[in-house]
Structure formats: C-alpha cells, structure tokens
C-alpha cells in the first residue's frame, strides 16, 4: 500500500517541524507544512492529501475554520490539535461530522500515531462504503429503467414479462451494451413517440 499523504499546518514553525519528524518517522509522506489556512485549502484541492493535521492557531484563521472548509470540500479528514479550551469548540463541530477529529495538546507521539492510523483506516472504510452506496444506487436506477422498458415491450408488443426481458438481453448482447443502456434507449425512444 502507498504511504498516506499528509498535509500539516501551524503558525508555529517548531510544531510544523515536530509534526513532520514524527509523521515521517512513522513512514507517512508529509506533503507540505503551512502557517496559512488559505494555503492549506488550496493545497487540499490540488494535492488531494489523505489527511490534514492542523494546529488550532494559524496565521489567517483558526484550525476550526480550516476544519469546516476541508470538511465542506469532502476531500479528506482533518485532525485539529487544540488546547483544552479550544478543543471544546472542535468537539462541538465534530458532533455533526465524520471527517473532523481532535487531539488535545500537548500531543504525544504515540497518541498522534495511533490517531493518524485510526483516522486513515476510518476514512478508507468510509470511501469503500460510499462507493458501495453509489454502486447500489446505480443498480437500483438500472433496475427501475429495465422494469420500465420491460413494461413498454409488454404493452406495445403483447410480450410476456419473461419474453420482454429476454428481448432486452438479446438487444444488449447484440449491441455490446449493458442492459440498463438498452433499456434507457427503449424508454427514451417510446417517450419521444408518445
């Protein structure tokens, strides 16, 4: 498996340096470190990292603002590093999100590594589930259009349901198309005639 790509952000250069060393020691690919939240947002939309880790304090916004923006783009999860008072704000935002996480400072290397591994694993699982949902939606849409096409063939040509389905399959094979594509063509053709 490829090394996970991580983008880091903090207004404190020592925090950036420490994060970079800890993550690279754990064999992650640290893409870049920035003090500007706006720069991180630009990088998220061009580099497509697997994860963003941001200190709460940035030069032009808070880590909370950055977290909201990254979440809105649905590109990757984000871990915000915050002190106890700041973490309350992050916790509020987390309630409605699957992509925002918080580690309370001071951050220890073991906790950071564990959290990064956990967040990356959850993110991959979520992507798998979203892909499965999309696939199921497409299958359902195909099923609906195939049923409509069967209904058209049954009513227009007095076919049985089985004969209409066989006709759709035959046309799909002859045209080297999917059953859904042929069904859509038939539905569209008869809709234009009506």
**Residue corresponding to tokens 């998220």:** 44
Looking at per-residue confidence, does 112 or 94 come out higher? 112
Closest by Cα among 86, 42, 41 to 64: 86
For residue 84, give its domain range: 5-107
Of 73, 107, 141, the one marking the end of a domain is: 107
- Provide the 10 A C-beta neighbour count for residue 20: 16
Q: Give residue 32's pLDDT.
A: 82
CATH at 172: 1.10.10.10
Q: How many domains does the chain have?
A: 2
User: Could you tell me if residue 114 is inside a domain?
Assistant: no
> Are residues 102 and 141 part of one domain?
no
Q: Using CA of residue 97, residue 17, residue 60, residue 3, what is the dihedral sign?
A: negative
Looking at per-residue confidence, does 6 or 85 come out higher? 6
| Mean per-residue pLDDT over the chain, rounded | 91
pTM above 0.85, yes or no: no
> Are residues 101 and 40 part of one domain?
yes
Tell me: pLDDT of 1 over 70: no
Looking at per-residue confidence, does 90 or 152 come out higher? 152
Q: How confident is the model at residue 73 (pLDDT cuts 50, 70, 90)?
A: confident
User: Could you tell me if residue 128 is inside a domain?
Assistant: no
User: Could you tell me if residue 152 is inside a domain?
Assistant: yes
């Amino acid at each position: 498996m490829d090394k996970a790509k991580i983008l880091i952000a903090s207004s404190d250069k020592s925090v950036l340096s420490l994060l970079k060393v800890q993550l690279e020691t754990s064999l992650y690919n640290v893409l870049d470190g920035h003090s500007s939240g706006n720069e991180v947002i630009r990088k998220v939309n061009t580099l497509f990292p697997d994860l963003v880790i941001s200190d709460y304090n940035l030069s032009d916004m808070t880590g909370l603002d950055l977290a909201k923006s990254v979440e809105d783009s649905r590109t990757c999860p984000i871990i915000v590093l915050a002190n106890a008072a700041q973490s309350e704000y992050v916790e509020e935002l987390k309630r409605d999100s699957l992509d925002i996480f918080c580690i309370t400072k001071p951050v220890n290397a073991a906790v950071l590594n564990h959290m990064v591994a956990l967040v990356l694993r959850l993110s991959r699982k979520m992507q798998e589930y979203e892909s499965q949902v999309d696939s199921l939606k497409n299958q359902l849409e195909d099923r609906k259009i195939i049923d409509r096409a069967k209904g058209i063939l049954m009513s227009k040509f007095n076919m049985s349901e089985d004969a209409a389905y066989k006709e759709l399959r035959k046309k799909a094979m002859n045209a080297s198309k999917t059953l859904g594509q042929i069904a859509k063509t038939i539905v569209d053709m008869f809709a234009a005639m009506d």
